[in-house]
Chains A and B, each alone.
Chain A
Amino acid sequence: MTALQSLSDDLAAAVDRASAALVSVHARRRIPASGILWKPDVVITNHHVIQREEGIKVTLADGTTVGATLAGRDPATDIAALRLERPAPTSAALGHGPLKVGQLVLALGRPGPAVTAALGVVSSAGGEWRTWSGGRIDQFVSLDVSIYDGFSGGALVNSAGEIVGMNSSGLSRGAAMTIPFPTIIRVAEQLLTSGHMRRGYVGVGLQSVRLPSAIASQLTPARDVGLMVVSVDDGGPAALAGLHIGDVIVAFDGHPASEPSEMLAQLTGDRIGQIAAVRVLRAGAFADLLLTVGERPARAGRR
């Protein structure tokens, strides 16, 4: 047997190994999307492919179709968790470790009865990043694989046939990206317990503004941009702490605050109920306020 033939057999075997956990998710008008059977009764898919919340159906690898209910969806990370009405016999074999540039990967989907495959490499891999809507993703991974119908919600598989991520074309203007499995587990566990991602909440609208140089030179690290409070939610944590419109936040819990995303990054679910120190510039002088991080209210029907 030639090296090529054995590589080909290995790739086909990797697809075969992972395919038992690849399912079709019927929750939109077009052709079905793909999903990953994470636990015998839990399917993970993309948030953006769930276009109806009632009458969701999942077709398993053995061809049987099972009803499913939406356990929760997180638009910020494009992850949705479905609970099957009847458990499936198998679940996914997961791979570990960060993905490396150049690593051979297969993008699998199940847009129809059969599993489909595309081959490529990890084209770039970085550190933790935030999606445009503030979702924290453990590793930035973009792929050099072609996107086809039903790609979203499918699995990224390494050469050993282990599932290392879930593919999405909905995170970065249609480019092929993968959500690494540590992120999926973190988000899905919260979706399964509380139905949504708990996120910290301060209750202010913010706008970056330039600071006077006399003020900027007093800050460490030095920076000349702060966040002006442009709105305060009635009864929210910021209102209770005494923040006013016109205050300029320069630090949140000791971390510099120059961009709204920097403050958003601090407001993870585990901060809910904790006290945070906020340093603001008010009437030309610094003031320190203490606020209790609240929980961002779930917005019904928000996609």
Chain B
Amino acid sequence: MLDFLKPPIQTFQEFVVLSGRAVGNIVRRPHYSADVFHQMDVIGVGSLPICSMVGLFSGIVMALQMARALTTYGAESRVGEIVSITLVRELGPVLTAVLVAGRNASGMASELGSMKVTEQIDAMRALGTDPTQKLVTPRLIAAALMLPLLTIIADFIGMMGGYFIASTQLGITSSEYWTAAWQILEYNDLAQGLLKPLSFAVIIALVGCLYGMRTTGGTQGVGRATTDAVVWSSLWIFFVDALITQFFVNL
């Protein structure tokens, strides 16, 4: 009767097992540092242009939207505060994570999925390598290091975008904007602004790798794994975002 629950429970179980192994492997030898650097390049450097662009436009749009509302109350000088707080707390981490999920969780799932269906994962095990250690752990470490950095960069470029609108359309001075943007931020905001990307990075790497490693059914299976990886990592990002926000709101 409850058979329909079996697949999601099994997937979650596999996720927990993979997470445990991947995290445990961080302190276990051998360490594949070359793979970590390669993944940092793929995830970090590769995602930098798109994350910067999205950060920039988010800041611009936030400033444009808020400008109209704030002008009504004569409070347009506070645009820096709003842009800063929304980017650091929410938009920066979530938009960056969703972009990286679309770009890298899918990449991980398709790469590992192709390796699975062409028996490269089995070959790896047969030739003395733990695929989790060689493939999953480097991606996890690289994502966990890169996503917070990408988020910080996206936040900053977003604020620059906000400043561009504030200075050109609202006539706000540089010191007015940046003082407001800086002073409104509390440690609480910075903490959640960094905890979120770290958590999202874990989700992106592990969900991407999980769907890649459990791929079956040839090239069609690789396509399915890629789609599932993006859909589920995005969904988990929003779910965990809600949990973390709830936690910090109650602090």
Verify that A and B bind, or say they do not.
Answer: no
Residues of B within 8 A of A (CB): none
